[in-house]
Amino acid sequence: MLGVIGGSGFYTFFGSDARAISLDTPYGEPSAPITVGTVGDHEVAFLPRHGAGHEFSPHTVPYRANMWALRALGVRRIYGPCAVGSLTPDLGPGAMVVPDQLVDRTSGRDDTYFDSGGIHVGFADPYCPTLRAAAADLPGVVDGGTMVVVQGPRFSTRAESRWFASQGFSLVNMTGYPEAVLARELEMCYAAIALVTDVDAGIDSGSAVRAVDVFAEFERNLVPFKKLVHEAIDQVQLERTCTHCLPHEGIQLPFDLP
């Protein structure tokens, strides 16, 4: 089964014929009931990251519960659509990007399942190459970029934006971590698909980023963005062949994965 975790403004994925499943996990309940439907030949589980009515801010999303619930349901490959700010004038609002790197600037988030046992996962390349390729090969998609993940819920200062841009980062986001690393710990393939909603404050000399404008831009692009996610899923092979996202080979884990 494939999974899709929808970001800000991306609260539904299927019609009324989808079935809803409520799950509990050792880490509490996920953000919302998971809906299951089909996209082409794939059975797909959809979970709105922030809740069905955007109840969760980026720093309060129950990331561990979300990823555990998807794995328990049978999901092994996940797309994580998300809204991002741009750190370069080359990527304006409406651009769709498949990043290949991330930088974590969050703090205090529960970002591992392994609080004991001395388990370490490789994370040099944080996104599944197979899922990335399926999305990045689509027309009009920008292939590659570094997404810096900030704590939120505030937006960056102009100085922070300029600093991020000076490091070569191209996107800024609030939810891409720890989602990606938790997927890796659970041996699930994961790739982000980013929709640019604004040019960050330090890059655009005009007015600062406003939440109302971000949501409005996302809403304007929601239909083509959902279409892109559908098309990416259609490009994914039915059988999972990726070994990049299986970090525990030969390792005795302190508990069984769901």
pLDDT in tens, 33-47: 999 999 999 999 999
Q: Give me the percent of the chain exceeding a pLDDT of 70.
A: 93
Query: The pTM is what?
Result: 0.94
Confirm if 53 and 168 have CB atoms less than 8 A apart.
Answer: no
SS3 237: coil
Is 100 one of the annotated binding-site residues? Answer: no
Is 67 one of the annotated binding-site residues? Answer: no
The whole-chain average pLDDT of the chain stands at 92
Q: Which are the catalytic amino acids?
A: 198, 200
Q: How far apart are CA 144 and CA 199, in angstroms?
A: 18
Q: How far apart are CA 58 and CA 175, in angstroms?
A: 6
**Which phi and psi angles does 170 have, rounded to 5°?**
-115, -20
Is 198 one of the annotated binding-site residues? Answer: yes
pLDDT in tens, 77-127: 999 999 999 999 899 899 999 999 999 999 999 999 999 888 999 999 999
H runs (alpha helix) in the chain: 63-73, 129-136, 158-166, 176-185, 211-235
Is 35 one of the annotated binding-site residues? Answer: no
